[in-house]
Amino acid sequence: MESILLLAHTEADGALGKPALEALTAALALGGELTVGLVGGAVEPAAKIAAAAGARRILAVTGEPFTQPRYATDAAAAEAIARAAGSAIVLAPATARWSRALPGVAYRLGGRIDTHATGLAVRDGSPAVNRWFYRQRMEAVLARTARPWFVLLDSGCVEPWSGTAAVSAQVEAVPVETPQTRTTVTGVQAPKADEQTIRPDAKLLFVAGAGWTKKQPDGAVHVEEAQKLILGALRGAQASLGGSKSLVDLSGEGEAVLPFMTHLNQVGQTGATPRHPKGLSTCCHGEEPHVVGWRFVTERRAVNLDANCGWARGKADVVYVADAFAVVRELNRLLG
Amino acid sequence: MSTTFQIVVCGSIVPDPLQTLEPVTGPAGPALKNEMMLPAVLDPWAAHALYEAAHLAAAHPGSKVWLVSKAPKAKLQQVMMTVAQKVPFELVPLDGSASGFTDSFTTATSLAGAIETIPGLDKSRLLLFGGWESASRGAGSTIQMIAERLGITEQFQGVDRITVREDGSFEVLERIEGGRHQVSVCSAPPAALGWATGFLAEPRNNPQVGMANMKTIMPALMRSKAAPAVDSGLSFVSVTLPKQQRETRIEKNMTPEEIAREIAAWIKE
């Protein structure tokens, strides 16, 4: 197997995040000589993990300019480490930070990059990468002859490395000239804790469809009640919220529907395909939430008034033919 | 302070999302069955980028928008009949494959080359726009490579909003993990922005805009140069449709209370 560089950026405390630990597992499974490259304000805790995992070399770029996610500085750091390592394969977790910076680094090094990898295997001494095309509608296994070959591994595809950190680690500092940049990272906008509807680590993805905003059996629309019920279910189950495109678009067009539902919640064609162990779709009809949106949801159930919904049949494990308002009202009472 | 931008949007066409897609293997590698027959649309994220570009240009008189697109000429012409009615832009077409199975490096090289030939393009005022991913390859790597080739090192991905300030600097909201946005300020162009969905609604069709656009789009399509496929060392071992079909249990006769109890127990498992 060819030599591998695992590129990881550290968290604020200098440790490796879950996506980086998953990429470490994947790198070790490939079996090549492993170098770990670290970028961040502090790297010592991460370096001790890399040492315990058996990295032959640990390279690092540290310092204040490299604490914040920013293209110019991240690309410079990753480029310097990749050149110093000289590895044929560069594996990294598909975090927002690396997804922004590493394609440009691959270009600088005359290499190639594949993103959203969902699996890696060794085939004839080289890696073969699994990834999906056309919005998770078809899966391909691909190989490349160009090197260095950058691969960004999607989170949730392999188990995170879980060994005990080494007592100490030898870290080689890689010199890098801080690049000129016109960009200043000023902060992060996040919803208030009680308004948080996207929880990537939640066990349950609760998908709301446009049916919540349609006329109910009494001939009226009950949007306010829908809001309370959906938010109650999210709170009770500590679930993450997904929305169908039609529902999200209604919100974006300024109509008085589900104000907490934004494009960030959208699953499907132009939305996310999140990974959760369980998914419950409510008032959804269509290919996007059932097929594309929860391709990577393991157990799937749906509450739907249409027993013949062709999208749910064959895609969900259970379809309950019932009024979602009544079911979720009772569910919230049970979840307390 | 008056600020003007030269906004180049990169975006190609993809099969209409409602179409059923099936992979086939041809002499040049994987492709879609009946690909040339499938109805196509402008890639959804690229479309968002185009609408954001037009919105920004309208707010800053003197700005201009180009759409650089690599796709089979005939298909691109069909799609332009609709897209041209949305917002004003000038098309820079490349006649080549829009397949999701082409390499992003190859696509980036073609598009960067086309951008470099745009007459009078002022790179000091350039904003390079595109979708942060496509609905075909979904790589999320093309814009970064185009920008590198053009020497642009201020880059943003998963962008939902750009707000231009009075001093010409602009604030950018980028999607990051956990449904959050990273906020950055860039003091000046050039910069590259890979757009997520943004916050703008799709513009309504405007036949007058369409007629004005088509005056330049049709001649541009006639002149479009071929962008030949290049061997980038990418090979596909397999391309398959997911086969998993679930045995769905349909419950028609349970009361809401019974369903809720079953779901609650399932959630707690």
Q: Where are the domains of chain B?
A: 6-226
Q: Testing the interface with B: which of A112, A124, A134, A199 to mutate, by most B Cβ within 10 A?
A: A134
Q: Residues of A with CB below 8 A from B48's CB?
A: 270
Average pLDDT over residues B40-48: 95
Q: Same structural domain for residues A32 and A82?
A: yes
Q: Which two tokens stand for residue A321?
A: 């033919």
The three-state (H, E, C) secondary structure of chain A, written as one string: CCCEEEEEECCCCCCCCHHHHHHHHHHHHHCCCEEEEEEECCCHHHHHHHHHHCCCEEEEEECHHHCCCCHHHHHHHHHHHHHHHCCCEEEEECCHHHHHHHHHHHHHCCCEEEEEEEEEEEECCEEEEEEEECCCCEEEEEEECCCCEEEEECCCCCCCCCCCCCCCCCCEECCCCCCCCCEEEEEEECCCHHHCCCCCCCCEEEEECHHHHCECCCCCECHHHHHHHHHHHHHHHCCEEEECHHHHHHHHCCCCCCCCCCHHHEECCCCECCCEEEEEEECCCCHHHHHHCCCCEEEEEEEECCCCCCCCCCCCCEEEECCHHHHHHHHHHHHC
The whole-number pLDDT of residue A306 equals 84
Domain boundary among A118, A138, A173: A173
The whole-number pLDDT of residue A64 equals 94
The whole-number pLDDT of residue A137 equals 86
- Please tell me if residue A118 touches chain B, with a CB cutoff of 8 Å: no
- Please tell me if residue A255 touches chain B, with a CB cutoff of 8 Å: no
Please give the share of chain B, as a percent, with pLDDT higher than 90: 87
The whole-number pLDDT of residue A255 equals 61
The whole-number pLDDT of residue A258 equals 79
Please give the share of chain B, as a percent, with pLDDT higher than 70: 99
Q: What is the CATH number of the domain that holds A229?
A: 3.40.50.1220
CB contact under 8 A, B138 and A330: no
Q: Same structural domain for residues A11 and A151?
A: yes
The whole-number pLDDT of residue B116 equals 97
How many domains in chain A?
2
Cα A16 from Cα B116, distance rounded (Å): 41
The whole-number pLDDT of residue A290 equals 58
pTM of the model: 0.91
- Please tell me if residue B136 touches chain A, with a CB cutoff of 8 Å: yes
Q: Same structural domain for residues A128 and A266?
A: no
The whole-number pLDDT of residue A195 equals 72
CB contact under 8 A, B250 and A319: yes
The whole-number pLDDT of residue A274 equals 84
Q: Searching chain A, which residue's CA lies closest to the CA of residue B252?
A: A321
Residues 245-264 of B with CB under 8 A from A: 245-252, 254, 256-257, 259-264
Residue B226 has pLDDT above 70, yes or no: yes
Q: Same structural domain for residues A11 and A106?
A: yes
Q: What is the CATH number of the domain that holds A159?
A: 3.40.50.620
Q: Same structural domain for residues A249 and A207?
A: yes
CB contact under 8 A, A112 and B235: no
A185 in any annotated domain: no
Q: Nearest Cα to A291, choosing from A244, A240, A248, A234?
A: A244
A178 in any annotated domain: no
In DSSP terms, which residues pair with A144 in a beta bridge?
A: B234
CB contact under 8 A, B240 and A138: yes
The whole-number pLDDT of residue A194 equals 67
Q: Same structural domain for residues A81 and A111?
A: yes
Q: Which residue has the higher pLDDT, B154 or A208?
A: B154
A184 in any annotated domain: no
Q: Same structural domain for residues A199 and A258?
A: yes
Strand order through the sheet with B191-195: A183-189, B180-186, B170-176, B155-164, B191-195, B126-131, B6-10, B64-71, B90-95, B225-226
Q: Same structural domain for residues A216 and A288?
A: yes
**Pairing assessment for the beta strands B6-10 and B126-131 based on DSSP bridges:** parallel
CB contact under 8 A, A189 and B23: no
Residue B1 has pLDDT above 70, yes or no: no
Q: Same structural domain for residues A164 and A211?
A: no
The whole-number pLDDT of residue B192 equals 98
Q: Same structural domain for residues A93 and A8?
A: yes
Q: Which two tokens stand for residue B69?
A: 């697109």
Helix (H) or strand (E) holding B203: none
CA distances (Å), origin A56, targets A2, A39, A132, A176, B208: 14, 17, 32, 21, 65
The whole-number pLDDT of residue A256 equals 54
Residues B81-126 pLDDT 10s: 999 999 999 999 999 999 999 999 999 999 999 999 999 999 999 9
Q: Which CATH number fits domain B6-226: 3.10.450.50, 3.40.50.720, 3.40.50.620, 3.40.50.300?
A: 3.40.50.620
Closest CB to A264: pick one of B44, B179, B186: B179
CB contact under 8 A, A103 and B18: no
Domain boundary among A173, A206, A234: A173
CB contact under 8 A, A69 and B234: no
Q: Searching chain A, which residue's CA lies closest to the CA of residue B30?
A: A140
This complex has an ipTM of 0.94
Q: Searching chain A, which residue's CA lies closest to the CA of residue B13?
A: A134
A83 in any annotated domain: yes
Q: Same structural domain for residues A17 and A160?
A: yes
The whole-number pLDDT of residue A209 equals 86
Closest CB to A181: pick one of B154, B158, B196: B154
Q: Residues of B with CB below 8 A from A287's CB?
A: 18
Torsion of CA A131, A136, A140, A146, to 10 degrees: -40
The whole-number pLDDT of residue A289 equals 57
CB contact under 8 A, B263 and A69: no
Domain boundary among A114, A143, A173: A173
Q: Residues of A with CB below 8 A from B13's CB?
A: none
Give the A:B interface size as CB pairs under 8 Å.
271
Domain range holding A303? Answer: 193-335
Our CA-based measurement puts residue B156 at a distance from the nearest CA of chain A, in whole angstroms, of 7
Closest CB to A189: pick one of B180, B187, B196: B180
Q: Which residue has the higher pLDDT, A11 or B20?
A: A11
- Please tell me if residue A288 touches chain B, with a CB cutoff of 8 Å: yes
Q: Same structural domain for residues A15 and A128?
A: yes
**Ranges of residues in chain A whose predicted pLDDT is under 70:** 193-194, 251-257, 269-270, 286-293
**Pairing assessment for the beta strands B40-42 and B13-15 based on DSSP bridges:** antiparallel
